Structure 1
Amino acid sequence: MFDWLIVGAGFAGSVLAERLATQRGDKVLVIDRREHIAGNAYDHLDEAGVLIHRYGPHIFHTNSEAVFNHLSKFTAWRPYEHRVLAEVISPTTGQLVQVPIPINLDTINTLYGLSLTEAEVEGWMEARAEKVDQIRTSEDVVVGKVGRELYEMFFRGYTRKQWALDPSELDKSVTARVPTRTNTDDRYFTDKFQAMPRDGYTAMFARMLDQPGITVRTGMDFAEARKRFSFRRVIWTGPVDEYFGFRYGKLPYRSLKFRHETLDREWALPTGTVNHPAEETPFTRVSEYKWITGQKHPKTSVTYEFPSAEGDPYYPIPRPENAALYKKYEALADAEQDTWFVGRLATYRYYNMDQVVGQALSTFERIQKVVPPASANDDQRLARVGTAD
């Protein structure tokens, strides 16, 4: 008899498993249909011995000291600030160039052969921005800041490939995630804490789950676990529509396909990731892991990302009709007894890794308030046995 069955060994499930076992003494069974722990953050050595991320690069960053401190219990860190270049055609030379993204002062000066200052570039952008009365879509966000030429150069093709929708059809939250800067800061993120687990994500997850009271079974789905084990409560981190048998139809997601390559040279790219916004290029970006991990190796490995309509669900598609469909499933989830829904797929939200950790920690605090710990369950069972005798 387990106190909890946790479906999914990614961030949401693993954070909660560790908290429940170490802070409450609960017995926890963690299952995952994949053959490994760590969810989409899973990393491993490829055949050449280069540490790669099987599901594309996962760059950790957060402004939450609580989240960073919590994960620091299970890993040491390697400081790392991610930088991304976008390969586009210069409007002044007609040549392919690689420039910083998010758009910054150097991006503008390189593309247009200018020497603008920070004080001047803001006015330059404002002169090209289109007036948007009400910002509703991802297109509105960008053209309202930097105008149509830069929008089409950096965002339109990339977004159409990533989502199979035009930015004018997507919620403003998609492109609002990418800022525009008037200085020369070329970091992709500006969070207070930016670092990579020193020994990799999988090692961090292994330490998190290596606790008395936690049992892990990979290569096992929910249906098999229900046949083989007994448990009192469920934490579900998979797709919420799947839990309810797709009662109202499937929630739309975008997926990714990956092409991993090992190259017989020390370096391949000028930075961690190069974006390819051109719509005629089938992949959206290519990443080189040694920049990210700091690993020393005579060879290097890169990953190309190809957006797909088929495959594992990665990105909830932010459109009003999808939000309305999720609300139906959310009502079912709220009414489900002894079941907690946590994580990106279970709550149909486009969360970063740190946000999932924060959600899991908050969920644990709510559980603490309403669910008696295992020791209380044991006392109740003993009381019932004594009465029966």
Structure 2
Amino acid sequence: MNTQTTLIIGAGFAGSVIARELAEAGQQVHIIDKRPHIAGNAYDELDAHGVLVHRYGPHIFHTNSEKVFKYLSRFTEWRPYEHRVLGVVDGKTYPFPINRSTLNQLYALDLDEAGAAAFFEKVREPREPIRSSEDVVLNSVGRDLYEKFFLNYTRKQWGLEPSQLKAGVAARIPTRTNTDDRYFTDTFQAMPLHGYTRMFENLLDHPNIRMETSVDFADVPDHDGYAHIVCTGPIDSFYGYRFGRLPYRSLRFEHAHLADTKQFQSVGTVNYPNDHAYTRITEFKHLTGQQCDGTSIVREYPMADGDPYYPIPRDENEALFKQYEALADAEKNVTFVGRLAQYRYYNMDQVVAAALSASQKIMEKL
């Protein structure tokens, strides 16, 4: 009988942070993951050539939350890193998100900051109200930049037109009149010095935590015997798809090692909005700072089927989620936290913050 034990489904950020918080509060924790490893999608490992790679695509840590950064700093040292991205248009690379340098290079201009602001004002297509991702981008940068950098990328990434996606998707990507070419501008930008997996090992290293990998929730006997259950996986799966499946976008990762190449590209990630079936290529040595011969890259191919990665932000999907959320709200001894459990497009720091908050509420119940 596990009446004094909390069962946590999923050993990614949400599950691991909650496990640590409950363990430090004196609770016994049993955490399971159906994959053969911890760290969820942030899992990294040395590939066959000794290069540290992110198995499920690039994970760049950034946050404006000092609380979240300090919390994770208990479990890892950091390597300062500011992510930079280029977008390929007509065979040439340009800074992305779009900034003043992008405009000057693309259109052979010499704009200053005021000139860039005036350029955007001239080309933008005012949209009111702003309902979709198409509205967001056209309202900000106009049709030519929309078609060059956003339209086809969105079609590949989501399998939908930008007009079919809620505004929040495109709102994540800023437009700048200065020459700041960092992808993120958060106060804290860094990568775990020894990798994400090591950080998760430290997070889960507590005598009150029992960790099991390659274990599915369906294979755990006596669910009702636990004091509390924390679900960080897909909420529709937890409820046996009672109202139907929530739509997710999946990814296929094509990893490659280039033994005779010291550096494959000049920045961590290069986007291909208009060419190829993949959306982007990431070169991991930029992210990790690892010094070694050869380099390892990954190409990302968005897919309709496969492991769930991105909740698809559309009104009808939100309405379906609300049906599952109503079931979740009625639960006394089950808590749902994380991107898949809450059907939200969370960043890593947002998941950590949500997990810290949920931990407090769980401990009030126990």
TM-score (norm 2): 0.98
- Counterpart-to-counterpart distance in 1, 2:237 and 2:224: 20
Whether 1:257 aligns to 2:252 is: yes
Matched ranges for 1:75-94 at <5 A:
75-89=76-90
Give the superposition deviation at 1:133. 1.9
CA distance in structure 2 between the aligned counterparts of 1:245 and 1:330, rounded to whole angstroms? 14
- 1:275 match: 271
Could you tell me which residue of structure 2 aligns to residue 66 of structure 1? 67
Secondary structure in 1 matching 2:341? helix
Give the 5 Å matches for 1:1-389. 1=2, 2-22=4-24, 24-89=25-90, 96-226=91-221, 230-264=225-259, 265-278=261-274, 280-368=275-363, 370-372=364-366
Amino acid at match of 1:275: N
Identity of aligned residues (%): 57
Q: Which residue identity does 2:227 align to in structure 1?
A: R
Shift of the alpha carbon at 1:223?
1.4
- Matches of 2:129 and 2:28, distance apart in 1: 51
What residue identity is the alignment partner of 1:371? K
Distance 1:9 1:260 in 2: 23
Distance 1:135 1:360 in 2: 31
Specify every segment of 5 or more residues in structure 2 that has no aligned partner in the other structure, as ranges.
none
Question: What is the CA-CA distance between 1:212 and the residue it aligns to?
Answer: 1.0
* 3-state SS in 2 of match to 1:211: coil
- Secondary structure of 1:44's aligned partner: strand
Unaligned runs of 5+ in 1: 90-95, 373-389
CA distance in 1 between partners of 2:336 and 2:133 (Å) = 29
C-alpha distance in 1, partners of 2:192/2:5?
Answer: 30
The SS at the match of 1:174 is helix
- Supply the AA of the counterpart residue of 1:28: V
Give the deviation of 1:157 after TM superposition.
Answer: 0.2
In structure 2, distance between residues paired with 1:229 and 1:137: 43
Q: Distance in 2 between matches of 1:281 and 1:114?
A: 29
> What amino acid is aligned across from residue 3 of structure 1 in structure 2?
T
| 1:228–1:182 distance in 2 versus 1, CA, 3 Å | closer
Shift of 1:364: 1.1
Rg larger in structure = 1
Secondary structure class of the residue paired with 1:157? helix
- Give the Å deviation of 1:229: 9.8
For 2:81 and 2:236, locate their aligned partners in 1 and report how far apart those are by CA, in whole Å: 36
- Alpha-carbon deviation of 1:231? 2.0
Give the deviation of 1:325 after TM superposition. 0.5
> Matched residues in 2 for 1:342 and 1:48: separation?
36
Write the distance in 2 (CA, Å) between the matches of 1:81 and 1:229. 46
Aligned length: 363
Q: Tell me the amino acid that sits aligned with residue 43 of structure 1.
A: D
Residue type of the alignment partner of 2:361: R
**Matches of 2:128 and 2:327, distance apart in 1:** 37
Q: Summarize deviations over 1:7-44 as a string: whole Å, max 9, x none.
A: 0000000000000001x211100000000000000000
Q: What's the offset of the Cα at 1:269?
A: 0.7
CA RMSD of aligned residues (A): 1.1
Query: 1:69 Cα shift?
Result: 0.3
Residue 305 of structure 1 aligns to a residue whose secondary structure is strand
Which residue identity does 2:109 align to in structure 1?
Answer: L
